[in-house]
Amino acid sequence: MDRRTFLATAAALAATPALAQQRVTLNVLTAGDQNMVDYITDYLGPMFQRQNPGVTVRALGTGPGDAGSQRIWERLEAQRRANTNSVDVDVAVVHQTMAGRMVAEGLLSRFRDQASTGQLATSDVTRNALGQNVDGFVLPMFNSQIALAYNPARVATPPRTFAELENWVRQNPRRFGYNGIRGGMSGVGFVFGWAYAFGPDQKRLIEGPFDAEAVSALTPAFQRLREFNRNVVITPGNAGTLDAMNRGEIDIGPVWMDMFYSWQAEGRLNPAYRLVLPETGLPGQPMYYVIPARAANNDVARRFIELATSPSVQAEGIVRRFNWLPGIDAQHVRQHLDQQTWDRLFRDVGPDQLARGARPMPQADFMRALQEAYERVVLN
């Protein structure tokens, strides 16, 4: 081998590891609707690729609801059982239920303390997922929050506690509507908010540990809800509550804030309608970014989440595009939003009200038990 050939071969060999390191396919699996996949494919992925030459972001949806998160767990668990050296999921977006289970079963990597954006999210849901300690393992992609929508033309002073709402419904029968526990999570969340307000131990319901006696102690609260239901309209679903308001059939009802704002932006809901968050609290629910314990591209995955949870991306991608509440604390996105957008999202329920009235969903076992208690006490 002559000197020129030797030097060329040596240079090629020296360059190979760096080139291989740059050529990365980052596999991102997300539960949720198709818009979650589109968000990564059309917006977040291309942005990350421009900032990280040689990296290709590949997004795959696993389906809506907890079933979508279940499919991600099944994939990671199957690869653990197969004892693979690394898994083919670098970043996952999952619901609270499965995030807690994945942490408990050792399927996730602790990354938040190393992430540059890790301290921008300080709400309870960064530490507690339905009673499971997830501190360090998750960063919220966004937060969804349930609030009470109302028609100010018919409700001059909206009720700000569940006791006030109970009294208002008594004076205005069948002008309040919600979808019970069978038509969507806004109704389920309302039932949880009722249990928080009228039960003896809200903290226990949220943090656990589970105790059947604590569920029995809620019987008077559910009996009270049964009487309340005699004067309300049961709507067919989350959208059904907003439809009933549009038709003038009800004047108040629990809704997801992002759905409320999206319908107003699309001209599907009266722009005069407003929101109020009871001081005794209503639950919300985030979706989490997580990194599997044996992700092949752990460092790149962390950088991807850092971009996704940066104030500018949260402002543009989460707030402007979807009307979701940011996953990081709201004050960090303020400077990246124009006044009109900020006012639209926080006009009625501002960051301070969210800090006081936003609650996590109950601990997982209580979550199931409360719905069963509703079926047993309220519907019979």
Residue range 144-283+357-378 in CATH 3.40.190.10? yes
Q: What is the pLDDT of residues 365-375, one digit of tens each?
A: 999 999 999 99
* Three-class secondary structure of residue 26 per DSSP: strand
Among the listed residues 244, 238, 252, the one whose alpha carbon sits nearest the alpha carbon of residue 166: 252
Query: Among residues of the chain, what percentage have pLDDT more than 70?
Result: 94
Inter-residue contact 206 to 131 (CB < 8 Å)? yes
15 has pLDDT over 80: no
Q: What is the pLDDT of residues 99-149, one digit of tens each?
A: 999 999 999 999 999 999 999 999 889 999 999 999 999 999 999 999 999
Give every CB contact of residue 108 below 8 A, 6+ residues apart in sequence. Answer: 99, 102, 137, 138, 290, 291, 292, 293
State yes or no: cis peptide before 278, omega within 30 of 0: no
What is the pLDDT at residue 355?
A: 84
Distance from C-alpha of 180 to C-alpha of 182, rounded to nearest angstrom: 6
Residue corresponding to tokens 């020129």: 4
Q: What is the pLDDT of residues 180-239, one digit of tens each?
A: 998 788 999 999 999 999 999 999 999 999 999 999 999 999 999 999 999 999 999 899
What are the residue ranges of helices labelled H in 26-124?
34-38, 45-51, 65-81, 96-104
Give every CB contact of residue 377 below 8 A, 6+ residues apart in sequence. Answer: 219, 222, 223, 225, 226
How many residues make up the chain in this entry?
380
CA atoms within 13 Å, Cβ hemisphere of 92: 33
What are the distances in angstroms from CA 103 to CA 7, 60, 127, 132, 293?
50, 22, 11, 8, 10
Q: What is the pLDDT of residues 149-190, one digit of tens each?
A: 999 999 999 999 999 999 999 999 999 999 999 878 899 999
- Say if residue 200 is exposed, middle or buried (CB neighbours under 10 Å; 0-12, 13-18, 19+): exposed
* Three-class secondary structure of residue 13 per DSSP: helix
94 has pLDDT over 50: yes
Inter-residue contact 226 to 374 (CB < 8 Å)? no
The architecture (CATH level 2) of 3-142+285-349 comes to 3-Layer(aba) Sandwich (3.40)
What is the pLDDT at residue 22?
A: 64
Distance from C-alpha of 202 to C-alpha of 280, rounded to nearest angstrom: 10
DSSP for residue 53:
T
Tell me what percent of the chain is helix, strand and coil, each rounded to the nearest 5: 50, 20, 30
The full DSSP string for 267-324 is T-S-TT-EEE--TT-EEEEEEEEE-BTTBTTHHHHHHHHHHHTSHHHIIIIIIIHH-P
What is the pLDDT at residue 304?
A: 98
| Residue 350 falls in which region: left (phi positive, over 0), alpha (psi -120 to 50) or beta | beta
Distance from C-alpha of 285 to C-alpha of 129, rounded to nearest angstrom: 9
What is the pLDDT at residue 20?
A: 43
What is the pLDDT at residue 247?
A: 96
**Residues of each domain in the chain carrying CATH 3.40.190.10:** 3-142+285-349, 144-283+357-378
pTM of the model: 0.85
